[in-house]
Structure 1
Amino acid sequence: MENLIVAVLSKKRPPAVAGYIVCCGLVLAVLGLEHLFPPALHRYLPFLPVVFFTSIFFGRPVGLFATLLSATFGDGVIGLVFHRRSPAADELLFLVLFVVVGAAIAVVIEALRSAVCKLLAAEAETSLLLDELAHRTRNDLMMIASVLGLQAMRQSDPHAREALESAVARVRVIAEAQERLRKSGKHGEVEVASYLRALGHGLAELLRDVRPIRVRVLATPMYVDAPVAVSIGLIANELVTNAFKYAFPDGQGGTVQITLESTGDGVALSVEDDGIGVAPSKKDGLGTRLVQLLASHLGGTVHGTPRERGHGVKVLLPIKPAATVLAAVATDG
C-alpha cells in the first residue's frame, strides 16, 4: 500500500483539463447515486472521496475545484440561491466544514506529493553518488594491487615476494566486493555467491601457475551486508591460498572446493581440498590466524573437517542473509 501511494504521488500528472472533466463527472455520478440511494449520513460525506481522488491524481487546483463543486451541488446550495432562501444554521455549518476539510485534503496531499518527489530525487542523487564512490574506490584498490604486484615481480627474496602476493590477493578481495556492491543495485548489500565465484576464478588464475589445480565454488545465492561479504571473501581467500600453498607440493594437481550454504543458525563457509593434508605438528601461520580473527569478529567459529584425503576447514558464522535468491549454483575455475 505504501509503495502504491508513493508511485501515485510521484507519477507525472495528467493534463489539468482532464482533471476538471473527471472531477465534474465524479460529482455528477455521486449526485446520481444520492438521488437513487439517499445516503444514511450527511449528503456531503460521499463527496469527500471525490476530493481525495482528484487531489491525488490531478493536484491541488483540481482538488479545490472538486471541493467547491461538491459544496455547490452537494446540499442544494444552488436551490437555496434560486429560491432566495437563507441557509439554516446547521446547513451553513456543514457547508463551511466541508469546504475547510476538502481544502485541507487538497493542500495536505499537495504537500505530501512535494515531499515524496524531493525524497525520491534525494535518493536518486545519493544512489548515484554511492555508485560513483564504489567505482572510484574499486579503481583505487586495483591500482594499489597492480603496484604491489609489480613490486612482487621485482623481488628476489621469495619470502618478500610471497608477502606481497598475499597482499595483492587481499586487496583484490576488497576491490571485488566494491565492484559487486556497485553492480548489485542494493546499496549496502552484496550477492555473495557470485562474489565468491569471481574470487575463486581470480585466485585460480593467480595462484595455480602451471599446476592442474581446479577451484570449484558451490554456493547458495544470498545477499549479505557489504562488510560481512568482505570478511567472507577474505576468509575464503586465506583458506584457498593455504590450500594452494600446502596441499599440492611439487607440481601436484587437485581440486579446491569453496562451499557456502545457509544453515539454521546462520551461514557456513567451507574450503576443502584433496591434497596431501596437513601435518598435525604444523603451526598456525598468518593466514590461519587471520581467518580466526575475521571469524571471531563476526561471532563465528572455525573447525577442521575430517576427510579421507586432503584437508577441510568449516567456518560457521551466526549471520542472517538479507535475502536468499536461488538454489545453489556450482562453478569451476
Structure 2
Amino acid sequence: MEKLIVAVLSRKRPPAVAGYIVSFGLVLAVLGLEQLFTPALHRYLPFLLVVFFASIIFGRPIGLFTTLFSALLGDGVIGLVLHRRSPAADEVLFFVLFVAVGAATAVVIDALRSAVCKLLDAEAETSLLLDELAHRTRNDLMMIASVLGLQAMRQSDPHARQALESAVARVRVIAEAQERLRKSGKHGEVEVASYLRALGHGLAELLRDVRPIRVRVLATPMFVDAPVAVSIGLIANELVTNAFKYAFPDGQGGTVQITLQPSAEGVVLSVEDDGVGVPPAKKDGLGTRLVQLLTSHLGGTVQSMPRERGHGVRVLLPVKPVVPPASATE
C-alpha cells in the first residue's frame, strides 16, 4: 500500500484540461447518484471522495475547482438560488465545512506530493553519489593491488613475494565487494554468489601459475549486508589460498570447491580440495588466524571436515541472508 501511494503521488500529472473534464463529470455523476438514492446519500460527504481523487491525481488547482464546483451543486444550493430561499443555519454550516475540508484536502495532498517528489529526488541523488563513491573506491583499491602486484613480481625472496601476493588477493576481495555493491542496485547489500564466483576466478588466475588447478563455486544466490559479504570473501580467499599452498605441492593439479548455502542457523561456507591434505605439523599462519578472527567477529564457528582425499573447512555464520527464488548455480 505504501509503494502504491508513493507511485501515485510521484507520477507525472495528466494535463490540466483532462483534470477539469474528469472532475466535472465525476461531480455530476455523484449529483445524479444523490438524486437516485436520497436520503441514503445526502449533504456533501460523497463529493469528498471526488475531491480526494481529483487532488491526488490532478493536483491542487483541480482539487480546489472540484471543491467549489461540488459546493455549488451539492445539497440543493442551486435550488435555494432558483427559489430565492434563504438557507438554514445547518445548511450554511455544512457548506462552509465542506469548502474548508475540501480545500484543506487539496492543499495537504499537494504538499504531500511535493514532499514525496523531493524525497525521491534526494534518494536518486544519494544513489548516484553512493554509486560514484563505490566506483572510485574500487578503482583506488585496484590501483593499490596493481602496485603491490608489481612489487611482488620484482621480489626474489619467495616469502616476501608470497606475502605481497596475499595482500593483493585481500585488497581485490574488498575491491570486488565494492563493485558488486555498486552493481547490485541495493544499497548496503551484495549478491554474494556472483561475488564468490568472481573471487574464485580471480584467485585461480592469481595463484595457480601453470598448475592445472580448477576453482569451482557452488553457491545459492542470496543478498547479505556489504560488511558480511566482505568477511565471507576474505574467509573464502584465505581458505582457497591455503588450499593452493598446501594441497597441491610439486606442480600437482586438482580442484578447489567453494560452496555457499543458506541454513536454518544462517549461512554455511565450505572450501574443499582433493589434494594431499594439510600437513600434520602445520602451524596456524596469518591466513588461518584471519579466518578465525572474521568468523568470531560474526559470531560463527570454523570446523575442519574429514575427507578421504584432500581437506575441507566448514564455516557457519549466523547471518540472515535474503534468498531470491533461485537454485544453486556454479
Give the TM-score taking structure 2 as reference length: 0.99
Give deviations 1:29-71, integer Å, cap 9, x for gaps. 0111111112425421110100000000111011011111111
Residue 261 (str. 1) matches residue 237 (str. 2): no
| Letter of the 1:187 counterpart | H
CA distance in 1, matches of 2:247, 2:108: 69
Q: Does structure 2 retain, via aligned residues, the 8 Å contact 1:225–1:322? A: no
**What is the deviation of 1:323?**
3.4
- Where does residue 274 of structure 2 map in the other structure? 274
Tell me the equivalent position of 1:136. 136
Per-residue deviation at 1:156? 1.1
> Structure 1: how far apart are the matches of 2:263 and 2:37?
61
Separation of aligned partners in 2, 1:210 and 1:230: 28
Residue pair 1:67, 1:103 contacting (<8 A) in 2 also: yes
Confirm whether residue 200 of structure 1 aligns to residue 195 of structure 2: no
SS at match of 1:323: coil
TM-superposition CA deviations, 1:258-310 (whole Å, max 9, x none): 00000000000000000001133321111100000000000001000010000
Contact 2:26 2:50 in 1 (8 A): yes
Query: Contact (CA 8 Å) 1:224, 1:323: kept in 2 or not?
Result: no
SS class of match (1:324): coil
TM-superposed deviation, 1:11? 0.7
Contact 2:34–2:42 (8 Å) recurs in 1: no
Q: Which residue is equivalent to 1:87?
A: 87
> Which residue of the partner structure matches residue 185 of structure 1?
185
TM-score normalised to structure 1 length:
0.98
Question: Unpaired runs of 5+ in structure 1?
Answer: none
Following superposition, the deviation at residue 198 of structure 1 comes to 0.4
Instruction: Report the Cα distance in structure 1 between the residues aligned to 2:250 and 2:280, rounded to whole angstroms.
Output: 20
Cα distance in 2 between the residues matched to 1:254 and 1:128: 44
- Matching residue of 1:30: 30
Verify: 1:283 aligned to 2:283, yes or no.
Answer: yes
Preserved CA contact (<8 Å) 1:272 1:313: yes
Structure-2 separation of matches of 1:102 and 1:114: 18
Give 2:326's aligned amino acid: L
1:329 is paired with a residue whose SS is: coil
Deviations 1:161-183 (A, max 9, x none): 11000000000000000000001
The 5-angstrom pairing of residues 104-253 of structure 1 reads 104-253=104-253
- CA distance, structure 2, for counterparts of residue 91 and residue 276 of structure 1: 95
- Write the letter of the residue equivalent to 2:36: L
The reply on whether 1:66 has 2:66 as its aligned counterpart is: yes
d(CA) in 2 for partners of 1:5 and 1:203? 47
Counterpart Cα distance in 2 of 1:222 and 1:52:
42
- Partners in 2 of 1:85 and 1:251 — Cα distance? 107
Asked if the contact 1:238–1:291 (Cα under 8 Å) also holds between the matched residues in 2, the reply is yes
1:299 matched residue in structure 2: 299
Alignment RMSD (CA, Å): 0.9
Q: What letter matches 1:156 in structure 2?
A: S
Distance 2:173 2:204 in 1: 13
Task: Look up the equivalent residue of 2:315 and give its one-letter code.
Answer: V
SS at match of 1:76: helix
Which stretch shows the higher mean deviation, 23-32 or 273-282?
273-282
Deviations 1:135-170 (CA, angstroms, capped at 9, x unpaired): 000000000000000111111111111100000000
2:34–2:41: 8 Å Cα contact kept in structure 1? no
Q: Decide which moves more: 53-62 or 281-290.
A: 281-290
Aligned to 2:17: 17
Matched with 2:98 is 98
List 4+ stretches of structure 1 deviating above 6 A: none
Q: Which shows bigger deviation, 209-218 or 78-87? A: 78-87
CA deviation map 1:191-215 (0-9, x unaligned): 0000000000010011001101000
Task: Give 1:231's aligned amino acid.
Answer: S
